[in-house]
Amino acid sequence: MSLAQLTALNTITKPLEGKVAVVTGGSRGIGATIAKVLAKNGAYVAINYQTSIDRAEAVVKEIEDQGGISFAIKSDVSKPDDVKSLMEEVKNRYGKIDILINNAGITRDRTFRKLSNEEWSEVIDVNLSSVFYTTSEVINHMLEQGYGRIINISSIIGQVGGFGQSNYAASKAGIIGLTKSLALETAKNGITVNAVCPGFIETEMVGEMPENVLENIISKIPMKRLGQTDEIAEAVLFLIQANYITGQSINVNGGLYM
Ligand code: NAD
7 or 228, which is more confident: 228
Under the banding of pLDDT at 50, 70 and 90, the label for residue 142 is very high
Under the banding of pLDDT at 50, 70 and 90, the label for residue 11 is low
Rounded distance between C-alpha atoms, residue 128 and residue 104, angstroms: 10
Residue range 117-124: mean pLDDT, rounded: 98
pLDDT tops 80 at residue 10:
no
Tell me what pLDDT residue 208 has: 84
Burial zone of 208 (CB within 10 Å; 0-12 exposed, 13-18 middle, 19+ buried) = exposed
Under the banding of pLDDT at 50, 70 and 90, the label for residue 207 is confident
Ligand 1 in reach of 153 Cβ (< 6 A): yes
Tell me what pLDDT residue 242 has: 98
pLDDT one-digit tens code per residue, 146-204: 999 999 999 999 999 999 999 999 999 999 999 999 999 999 999 999 999 999 999 98
pLDDT one-digit tens code per residue, 30-41: 999 999 999 999
The answer to whether the CB of 107 falls within 8 A of the CB of 171 is no
Ligand 1 in reach of 28 Cβ (< 6 A): yes
Ligand 1 in reach of 104 Cβ (< 6 A): yes
pLDDT tops 70 at residue 9:
no
Half-sphere exposure of 79 (CA within 13 A, CB side): 8
Active site residue 94: no
Tell me what pLDDT residue 206 has: 86
Q: Which atom of ligand 1 is nearest to the CA of 168?
A: 34
Catalytic one among 44, 49, 133, 168? Answer: 168
Gap from CA of 247 to ligand 1 centroid (Å): 22
pLDDT one-digit tens code per residue, 210-223: 999 999 999 999 99
The answer to whether the CB of 194 falls within 8 A of the CB of 239 is yes
The answer to whether the CB of 194 falls within 8 A of the CB of 248 is yes
What pTM did the predictor assign? 0.96
pLDDT one-digit tens code per residue, 40-81: 999 999 999 999 999 999 999 999 999 999 999 999 999 999
DSSP assignments along 77-112, one per residue: TTSHHHHHHHHHHHHHHHS---EEEE---------G
Under the banding of pLDDT at 50, 70 and 90, the label for residue 1 is low
Rounded distance between C-alpha atoms, residue 91 and residue 70, angstroms: 13
Please, what is the average pLDDT of the chain?
Answer: 96
Q: Which domains does the chain have, with CATH numbers?
A: 14-249 (3.40.50.720)
Ligand 1 in reach of 27 Cβ (< 6 A): yes
